[in-house]
Amino acid sequence: MTVFGLYAAIGDPPCGERLPQCIDEVCAEAQLAEQVGFEAILVGEHHQHRDGFLPSPLIVCTAIAARTQKIRIGTGILLLPLYHPVHVAEDVATLDIISKGRVILGVGMGYQEGDFGAFGVPRSQRVSRLEEGIDIIRASWTQDAFSYHGKRFRFDHVAVYPKPVQRPHPPIWVGAMADDSIRRAAQYGDAWLTGITQPMDNILRHTQTYRAYAGEIQRPARIMLMRDAWVAPTRRQAEEEYGPEVLTAYRYYWRSDSLSFRSIRSEAEFTLDKMAPERIILGSPDAVVEQLQRWRDAMGAEMIIFRLRQAHSGGPPHEKIMGAIRLFGEKVIPRLA
């Protein structure tokens, strides 16, 4: 069975002076998503870069938790190398209590230099800080007191109280987009959170790597697929409402030398005809159901998470997003659940 989630991309810009309103809109979108059958909503993080992402995802998650009742709330992703893991363990445990056991902790290494520079964290330490951080967080949630002596973190007789509501602990999902990080997701994570912009052939190759390595080390292989997605009554309407927004984001990633777009040679290639077939779920309800079945059958994803709002452009408008969420709930999710 496949379930569905949302990815909430908000920040400054493009929200600018509308940022408080944008957060209210995302909370309303989460409330509607909860009503129509979505299972989760995730929030991302960046620092020192005006790319449209907020720097404090757990605070945004708390706002969403306060306005919802049952939808799961998580980070997608929290840049764990920037934090002391005991502090993260405390904050997430507190949020799990506030939300009555609805938290997902999605973590990753990060890649933008600005994310690291302001905190005095060398980018070269991101792998070890991620690995040790996950170990420490899991121990914080499952042991009464523990000591840790690693390469980056060292302490004795530390205890985190109170413990999270979820037992043995909130799920830890690891975001990964390259072979080494895919193996790391299998080793350290309770699930793999895929890259949102990678084409299908890359993700299928990584799926094979992930499942093979998880089998070798006898770890569960759980896949959470993230995709840019939009549904409207017709394909033409979907292209008009979503196309300019998602292509603006893709051009930004390409100019930033994103791993997902290094095979693209020119901005002229950023058209829906070229981008949509392998990267975007887009169209009428019937077409979207068919595309989702293709992805689900190819990957065996447990959850498919849609990014409707594009942080780099701020759109589509809130009322259009609400319409798409409602249409997903009425015409798509029931046919796939």
Domain ranges in the chain are: 3-336
Q: For residue 80, give the nearest of 197, 198, 164, 185 by alpha carbon.
A: 185
Per-residue pLDDT, 118? 82
Whole-angstrom distance between the N-terminal and C-terminal Cα of the chain? 6
Q: Report pLDDT digits (tens) over 27-77.
A: 999 999 999 999 999 998 877 766 557 789 999 999 999 999 999 999 999
The whole-model pTM stands at: 0.96
Selection from 118, 115, 151, 116 nearest residue 133 by Cα: 151
Q: For the segment 123-142, what is each residue's pLDDT rounded down to a tens digit?
A: 999 999 999 999 999 999 99
Residue 51: the pLDDT is 58
Q: What is the mean pLDDT of residues 308-322?
A: 89
Answer whether residue 99 shows pLDDT above 90: yes
pLDDT, mean of residues 195-222: 96
Q: How confident is the model at residue 13 (pLDDT cuts 50, 70, 90)?
A: low
Q: How much is the average pLDDT of 210-220?
A: 97
pLDDT value, residue 63: 96
Residue 14, pLDDT above cutoff 70: no
- Range 146-172 average pLDDT: 97
Look at residues 310, 334, 314, 335 and name the one whose alpha carbon lies nearest to residue 6: 310
3-state DSSP helix/strand/coil % of the chain, to nearest 5: 50, 15, 35
- Over residues 247-271, the mean pLDDT reads 90
* Position 150 pLDDT exceeds 80: yes
CA gap 305, 324 in Å, rounded: 14
Q: pLDDT grade, residue 203 (50/70/90)?
A: very high
Kindly report the average pLDDT of the chain as a whole number: 93
Segment among 91-105, 167-181, 260-274, 304-318 with least mean pLDDT: 304-318
CATH topology of domain 3-336: TIM Barrel (3.20.20)
Lowest mean pLDDT among 22-26, 80-84, 85-89: 22-26
* pLDDT of 112 above 80: no
Alpha-helical (H) ranges within the chain are 19-36, 57-66, 85-98, 113-117, 126-142, 179-188, 200-216, 235-255, 272-279, 285-299, 318-327, 333-336
